Amino acid sequence: MTGTYAGYVLAAYAVAFVLMAGLTLWTVLGARQAKRELARTEAESALFSARRTGAAAPGRRTQS
């Protein structure tokens, strides 16, 4: 491959690489955000459940 054709091929590979890197980064960051939100929701749910039943919330001590 010589000339402009090789340049086009290399440019196409470069664009594909940048797009794949961006998609990967977006996916990883989205997964981390979803994991944080799930943990927060589970903690809130446990706290709400403990308040409803009158039991101590997970990770909290009761007065004795």
Q: How many domains is the chain built from?
A: 1
Please indicate, yes or no, if residue 1 is contained in any of the structural domains.
Answer: no
Question: 22 versus 60: which is more confidently predicted?
Answer: 22
**Average pLDDT of the chain to the nearest whole number:** 86
Q: Is the pTM of this model over 0.95?
A: no
Residue 3 lies in a domain: no
Burial class (CB in 10 A: 0-12, 13-18, 19+), 47: middle
Is position 58 within any domain?
no
* pLDDT surpasses 70 at 62: no
Residue 20 lies in a domain: yes
23 is a domain residue: yes
Q: Does residue 64 lie in a domain region?
A: no
State the residue range of the domain holding 40. Answer: 15-52
CA–CA gap between residue 26 and residue 11 (Å, rounded): 22
- Asked if residue 35 belongs to a domain, the reply is yes
Model pLDDT, residue 21? 98
Task: With respect to residue 62, please indicate whether it lies within any of the assigned structural domains.
Answer: no
